[in-house]
Amino acid sequence: MARSAGVLLSITSLPSPYGIGTIGKEARKFADFLKASGQTIWQILPVGPTSYGDSPYQSFSTYAGNPYLIDLDTLCEEGLVTKEQIESYDWGSNDSEVDYEKIYNNRFDVLRIAYNNFKQGDQKEFKSFKRKNSRWLKNYALYMAVKESFDMRSWTEWPDEEIKMRDEKAVARYERKYKDEVDFWKFIQFKFYEQWEAFRAYVNGLGIKILGDMPIYVAMDSADTWADPEIFQLYDDGDPIAVAGCPPDYFSATGQLWGNPLYDWDYLEQTDYDWWFERIKAASKLFDITRIDHFRAFASYYSIPFPAENAVNGEWIEGPRIKFFNMMEETLGKIDIVAEDLGTLTPDVTELMQQTGYPGMKVLEFAFDSGEENDYLPHKYNENCVVYTGTHDNDTVMGWAETANPNDLRYAREYCRMPEDEPFNWGLIRVAYESKANTAIVPMQDILGLGKEARMNTPSTLGNNWTWRLKSDALTQELADKLKTMSVNSGRLED
């Protein structure tokens, strides 16, 4: 990757009169701001449909787009819904955070109005979309229709054993019974992908690449586990044998119990990793660069026996390692990937990173613990990495500075050679930009110097996450000029 700078901002965090950011006008406005700021990368969080807890890392599908991201004004322009109909719903009164309950209760009503109007028009492009994406779309749409009929319960709790276990006759029966509802869920995906292509074309047209995030695991409550149970470590009744997470670490004394089903890597190898390669190919159609979350699990993954109260009693098991990536390149060609390699790295992970050549991640908030030498200090970097002030799982830089050990904070200021009048967030941004890392990416909250109230996620907690939103007046010309000057001065943008 060429020397460059970018910004991390979830699409859900964009301003919008309808409670949550979308891929409409405000997304283009933010892309314009990135262009004016000398940025060439926009990093986003996963864009799949979210389930309980609203985490983008727990999605109903690895392929489907989030219905919340569909721009309602665009549907209005197409004559599928009126402005009055959209504005008749309560989208929340606080423009600084997402009210997911209101979004969930109202958005699908508006999308159903659009779908019913859409059915009266030309279906040619819709039919083509359904045909081209049938491999995943049929399963996802049926899953959502059946799930809705069972009060949105996960497939492992469906009362009809036949459809739960995908008996062929039951699948055909439910497809007939919920034909219109299945088509509604397909329509949502048609509109998401139609709008996404226009959004991506606009962003790319400004010379900006989209760095998308792909969770390594899929949710238990997903069309993926329901449709392809053989690729996961599941019992015959669908319950998981073991689940994903990570051991006690910096974030949690009892580890993180994610609950995702683990892959049956032996089966995947026997099928030439076809399921995985299709997934990566789909991600590369959405994004210019794909960040694989929890990359270390390809070297060795943490297996927690099911059921469990926490992640303390898991064990590390060998993953597919370099064989997987060699076969992936043979099958798909060269794909731009960033590997999330944070945490304590064992020799097998370090070896896999070297073998793939993928850039890893460096986080400045991790660099200054007790003044000890660690690999997150900029003088330890090589060029092939992406440096961040913080990530979506960290407190904001200013929030961290409020609660950090005073010795750590003093060391950070000394190491970064911050003048007394330099705001702490800009000192870290400057050091990230001036580092050897080919790519420097800064969360929008850190650029704005926001505190802990703007934190995106606190790992191992449920509720009050993923809600932060950007104020509509935050993107000033002064801010763009400051970032652009910094980009030019650090060699991340040609003047």
Q: How far is Cα 283 from Cα 300, in angstroms, rounded to an integer?
A: 23
| 481 Cβ contact list (under 8 Å, min separation 6) | 36
Q: Are 37 and 484 in contact (CB under 8 A)?
A: yes
Measured distance between the N- and C-terminal CA atoms of the chain, rounded to whole angstroms? 19
Q: Give the residue carrying structure tokens 């650090």.
A: 490
DSSP-assigned beta bridge partners for residue 59: 50
Within the chain, which residues score under 50 in pLDDT?
none
Q: How far is Cα 301 from Cα 312, in angstroms, rounded to an integer?
A: 14
Nearest by Cα to 217 from 163, 270, 256: 256
Q: Which two tokens stand for residue 41?
A: 């990368």
Q: Are 217 and 225 in contact (CB under 8 A)?
A: no
Q: How far is Cα 63 from Cα 47, in angstroms, rounded to an integer?
A: 9
Q: Give the residue carrying structure tokens 């005073």.
A: 406
Q: How does pLDDT run across 275-325, given as a tens digit for each residue?
A: 999 999 999 999 999 999 999 999 999 999 999 999 999 999 999 999 999
Q: How far is Cα 385 from Cα 236, in angstroms, rounded to an integer?
A: 42
Q: How far is Cα 104 from Cα 393, in angstroms, rounded to an integer?
A: 24
Phi then psi for 242, rounded to 5 degrees?
-150, 160
Q: Which two tokens stand for residue 429?
A: 């941004």
Q: How does pLDDT run across 402-450, given as a tens digit for each residue?
A: 999 999 999 999 999 999 999 999 999 999 999 999 999 999 999 999 9
| 136 Cβ contact list (under 8 Å, min separation 6) | 61, 62, 63, 64, 223, 282
Phi then psi for 371, rounded to 5 degrees?
65, 15
DSSP symbol at 251: S
Q: How far is Cα 429 from Cα 474, in angstroms, rounded to an integer?
A: 18
Predicted local distance difference test score (pLDDT) of residue 494: 78
DSSP-assigned beta bridge partners for residue 387: 362, 440
pTM: 0.97
Q: How far is Cα 490 from Cα 456, in angstroms, rounded to an integer?
A: 28
DSSP-assigned beta bridge partners for residue 385: 360
Q: How far is Cα 366 from Cα 362, in angstroms, rounded to an integer?
A: 8
Q: Which amino acid is at 296?
A: R
To 5 degrees, how large is the angle CA 100–CA 33–CA 469?
15
Q: Which residues are catalytic?
A: 293, 340, 393
Q: How does pLDDT run across 156-174, given as a tens digit for each residue?
A: 999 999 999 999 999 999 9
Predicted local distance difference test score (pLDDT) of residue 1: 59
Predicted local distance difference test score (pLDDT) of residue 343: 81
| 425 Cβ contact list (under 8 Å, min separation 6) | 389, 396, 397, 398, 446, 447, 449
Q: Which two tokens stand for residue 311?
A: 């992640």
Residues in the chain: 495
| E strand or H helix that includes residue 289 | strand 289-292
Q: How far is Cα 455 from Cα 100, in angstroms, rounded to an integer?
A: 17
Output the CA torsion 324→330→334→335 (10° steps): -40
DSSP symbol at 64: P
* CB neighbour class for 322 (10 Å; exposed up to 12, middle 13-18, buried from 19): middle
How many other CB atoms are there within 10 angstroms of residue 128's CB atom?
Answer: 11
DSSP per-residue codes, 80-128: SS-HHHHHTS---S-TTB--HHHHHHHHHHHHHHHHHHHTTS--HHHHH
Predicted local distance difference test score (pLDDT) of residue 440: 98
Q: Which two tokens stand for residue 198?
A: 């226009």
* CB neighbour class for 488 (10 Å; exposed up to 12, middle 13-18, buried from 19): middle
> What's the chain's Rg over C-alpha atoms?
23
